[in-house]
Chains A and B, each alone.
Chain A
Amino acid sequence: MNFLTLLKLGWRNIWRSKLRSLVVIFSIIIGVWGGLLILGIMYGLNNQRMDIAINGYIGNVQIHNENFLDDYAIKHVINNIDKYENFLSKDSRVKAYSKRIVLSGMLSNSNGSSGIQVLGVNPSSEKNVTKIYSKLIEGEYFKSKKNNTILVGKKIADKLNLKLKSKVVITFQDEKNNLVSLLFRVEGIFRSGNSMFDESNVYVKNQSIRDNLVNFIGFHEMPIVIYENIETDSSLDLTDALKKDLKKIDNTNIIQSWDDIAVELAYANKMISAFLYFFMLIVISGLSFGIINTMLMAVLERKRELGMLMCIGMTRLKIFLMISIETLFLALIALPFGLIFSYFMINYFSVNGIDLSIVAAGLENFGIGTMLYLKLPLNYYYEIGLMIIVITIISSVFPSIRALKINPIEASKNI
């Protein structure tokens, strides 16, 4: 008896009890579809969180003075910044870079005050590095000819009851540790998608700081964006390579990639893959019980027939294979449907998104916007498909062993 005959027999056997087989097939389809959809949501969430962080405010790589990270003092500016600029402007991996003055200070108005980080930027070069200009929900992105305008986050705006054109005072220490207070007028209110960022960061033109600190020269932060939006594996390699090259320029500065800066984000990104497979493993394991149960029922129902096959001389291996093939067929029929449905659904929502504005506050606390875009790389489909096949093969062992335990004498009711 060749393998083809076992396949033929297995195929016909699963359609003996159409309803029972269809129930299992549908449960696998729904399990695969539901599981992959959840994976698409989780992967999409993580992806968006990374996108908001990297393209929103961090960039792929940042340069700081090595002392700046321990002491956010104004004096710790990047050394030899010209050399970096020279290198970055010629490097083909680099999409854009910007230079920022970063100050720790206090934002105050008549309603109260709040500790903030002031990002002094060049509006035009910052536009190439971060997407904050596209996150404005009120006002405009440094369109005013005046230098003392400020962009504030929605969260801090709510906290201090700030409106467009509201006046605020930023207080910080200068190079000589004297307190300096500067007056700004709100030009825009942004909502980055990360409420923590919105609560603790404001953007001003760096010229406004220089105008008031005449002796201050230099920048504290250089965010760099490379030619990949999201940290795919290849852009991770690029980031590391760029980091390595930048380190050679001046060792008094520190070069950090986004995963050094946003450690929790990097950790979540590393964990997500393992978590997604683990989640799917649980879903498939649940399904496998249904498969085992159905096949056990099928074996017990066909006890007499299996007994007859044993009587006439079918070997244990062939009986084992026959039952395993039947089990595998159930999964193989369901799998393409489950994968295709999931693929189209995830693709649809990756373009159109799911509006979750009803839970916007919670999502923004988590660092995600209100529109959720599903995403799942193709390798997940292959690997999860393979995982299902492997688990089905494992599941088929139990009913197959049960079939082998059939006593041909009892099963065939006498010879």
Chain B
Amino acid sequence: MIVTEKLSRIYKQGDFIIKAVDNISLKIQKAEFTAVVGPSGSGKTTLLNCIGGLDTPSLGKVIIDDENISNFKRDQIIKYRLNNIGFVFQSYNLIPVLSAKENVEMIMLLQGYNKKFRSERSEDLLNQVGLYEMKNRRPSQLSGGQQQRVAVARALASKPKFILADEPTANLDSISTNKLLDIMYKLNQDEKITFIFSTHDQRVIDRAKRVISLEDGKIFNDQKI
């Protein structure tokens, strides 16, 4: 379970103080399919960054499975991210010189898994996202939708507790979006993987089982569907 307790992230910009996240407390249960929505500057990305251990809260804490990750030291949080959190980026951010399979294997390499395990798991994950046949292609040989599916497979490779996805469909057409959402939804249903999206995309919001709406760094609506 992911818990934020009175979480605030305050930035100083010249003489101005910006509260990107303002006193947010929420709980996200395992296997939730949650969308964090809101206009630009509402704080959804900062919230996800704090949950993902990429940003340090100014006040409050982030507790994941009873562990307060806000107090972790740099090396500790890097290791924590590696083993517990999957990331899906808006621009896929695959390594261009590696094949789809190697991109998926990358995270397992960092975790120190052996070659056989890495190979089997990466092929299995690529199979799940429907890209087994394209496992040897490099990112430049894949469409945007396919690259994002590889990114999902990569995020799953480390067997994370949850996956944070920042506007995963922002660069995709509707067919690719639907296909990606189908895959993520299926993984959520079948393997009970927790997904947290930040998004503007109505198609994602429509598929989410919980929608947290932010405005000016605060939750103004938290709706379970």
A-to-B contact residues, CB < 8 Å:
1-2, 5, 9, 12-13, 15-16, 304-305, 307-316, 318, 408-409, 412-415
CB distance from B89 to the nearest CB of A (A): 6
Among candidates B82, B93, B110, B164, residue contacting A308 with C-beta atoms closer than 8 Å: B93
Which residues in A have their C-beta under 8 angstroms from that of B107?
Answer: 312-313
What are the 4 A-B residue pairs with the smallest beta carbon separation, nearest first?
A313-B82, A12-B97, A308-B93, A1-B109
Among candidates A5, A305, A413, A415, residue contacting B87 with C-beta atoms closer than 8 Å: A415
Residue-wise, chain B 90-117 has the 8 Å CB interface mask toward A (1 for contact) of 1101011110000000110110100000
CB distance from A326 to the nearest CB of B (A): 11
**How many angstroms between the C-alpha atoms of A415 and B166 in the bound complex?**
6
Which residues in A have their C-beta under 8 angstroms from that of B55?
Answer: 409
Q: Which residue of A lies closest to B88 (CB)?
A: A415
Among candidates B48, B52, B91, residue contacting A304 with C-beta atoms closer than 8 Å: B91
CB distance from A413 to the nearest CB of B (A): 7
**How many angstroms between the C-alpha atoms of A413 and B52 in the bound complex?**
14
Contact A313 B49, beta carbon cutoff 8 Å: no
B-to-A contact residues, CB < 8 Å:
45, 48-49, 52, 54-55, 75, 78-79, 81-83, 87, 89-91, 93, 95-98, 106-107, 109-110, 112, 154, 158, 164, 166-167, 198
Which residues in A have their C-beta under 8 angstroms from that of B166?
Answer: 414-415
Contact B45 A414, beta carbon cutoff 8 Å: yes
Contact A413 B96, beta carbon cutoff 8 Å: no
Which residues in B have their C-beta under 8 angstroms from that of A307?
Answer: 93
6 more CB-based (< 8 A) A-B contacts, given A312-B87, A313-B81, A314-B82: A9-B98, A311-B87, A312-B154, A313-B82, A313-B107, A408-B54
Which residues in A have their C-beta under 8 angstroms from that of B112?
Answer: 1
Given A312-B82, A312-B87: A415 touches B109 (CB 8 Å cut-off): no
Among candidates A12, A15, A409, residue contacting B49 with C-beta atoms closer than 8 Å: A409
Among candidates B54, B95, B158, residue contacting A415 with C-beta atoms closer than 8 Å: B54
Contact A304 B93, beta carbon cutoff 8 Å: yes
CB distance from B157 to the nearest CB of A (A): 9
Q: Which residue of B lies closest to A315 (CB)?
A: B78
CB distance from A354 to the nearest CB of B (A): 45
Candidate in B52, B82, B97, B107 with the most chain A CB atoms within 10 angstroms: B97
Contact A12 B98, beta carbon cutoff 8 Å: yes
Given A2-B109, A13-B97, A415-B54: A313 touches B91 (CB 8 Å cut-off): no
Contact A313 B83, beta carbon cutoff 8 Å: yes
Which residues in A have their C-beta under 8 angstroms from that of B167?
Answer: 414
Given A9-B97, A308-B93: A414 touches B78 (CB 8 Å cut-off): no
**How many angstroms between the C-alpha atoms of A46 and B98 in the bound complex?**
53
Contact A313 B97, beta carbon cutoff 8 Å: no
**How many angstroms between the C-alpha atoms of A134 and B92 in the bound complex?**
78
Contact B49 A16, beta carbon cutoff 8 Å: no
Task: Show 23 A/B contacts (Cβ-Cβ < 8 Å), sorted by A.
Answer: A9-B97, A13-B97, A304-B91, A304-B93, A305-B96, A308-B89, A308-B93, A309-B95, A311-B87, A311-B89, A313-B81, A314-B78, A314-B82, A408-B54, A412-B89, A412-B93, A413-B89, A413-B91, A414-B90, A414-B166, A415-B45, A415-B89, A415-B198
Among candidates B45, B79, B110, B198, residue contacting A1 with C-beta atoms closer than 8 Å: B110
Q: Which residue of A lies closest to B167 (CB)?
A: A414
Contact B78 A313, beta carbon cutoff 8 Å: yes
Contact A414 B198, beta carbon cutoff 8 Å: yes
Dominant SS among interface residues on chain B = mixed
Contact A312 B97, beta carbon cutoff 8 Å: no
Given A13-B97, A305-B95: A313 touches B79 (CB 8 Å cut-off): yes
Given A409-B55, A415-B164: A305 touches B93 (CB 8 Å cut-off): yes
CB distance from B104 to the nearest CB of A (A): 12
**How many angstroms between the C-alpha atoms of A318 and B112 in the bound complex?**
13
CB distance from B180 to the nearest CB of A (A): 17
Among candidates A1, A15, A311, residue contacting B54 with C-beta atoms closer than 8 Å: A311
Contact A16 B75, beta carbon cutoff 8 Å: no
Q: Which residue of B lies closest to A407 (CB)?
A: B54
Contact A413 B110, beta carbon cutoff 8 Å: no
Q: Which residue of A lies closest to B95 (CB)?
A: A305
CB distance from A179 to the nearest CB of B (A): 89
Among candidates B78, B89, B96, residue contacting A16 with C-beta atoms closer than 8 Å: B96
Which residues in A have their C-beta under 8 angstroms from that of B158?
Answer: 312-313
**How many angstroms between the C-alpha atoms of A2 and B93 in the bound complex?**
22
Q: Which residue of B lies closest to A311 (CB)?
A: B87
Which residues in B have their C-beta under 8 angstroms from that of A9?
Answer: 95, 97-98
Q: Which residue of A lies closest to B55 (CB)?
A: A409
Which residues in A have their C-beta under 8 angstroms from that of B79?
Answer: 313
Contact A313 B54, beta carbon cutoff 8 Å: no
Contact A415 B52, beta carbon cutoff 8 Å: yes
Among candidates B54, B89, B110, B164, residue contacting A314 with C-beta atoms closer than 8 Å: B110
**How many angstroms between the C-alpha atoms of A409 and B89 in the bound complex?**
11
Which residues in B have their C-beta under 8 angstroms from that of A314?
Answer: 78, 82, 110
**How many angstroms between the C-alpha atoms of A5 and B95 in the bound complex?**
13
Which residues in B have their C-beta under 8 angstroms from that of A315?
Answer: 75, 78
**How many angstroms between the C-alpha atoms of A316 and B54 in the bound complex?**
14
**How many angstroms between the C-alpha atoms of A408 and B81 in the bound complex?**
13
Which residues in B have their C-beta under 8 angstroms from that of A409?
Answer: 49, 54-55
Given A12-B98, A304-B93, A409-B49: A311 touches B81 (CB 8 Å cut-off): yes
**How many angstroms between the C-alpha atoms of A191 and B154 in the bound complex?**
79
CB distance from B41 to the nearest CB of A (A): 12
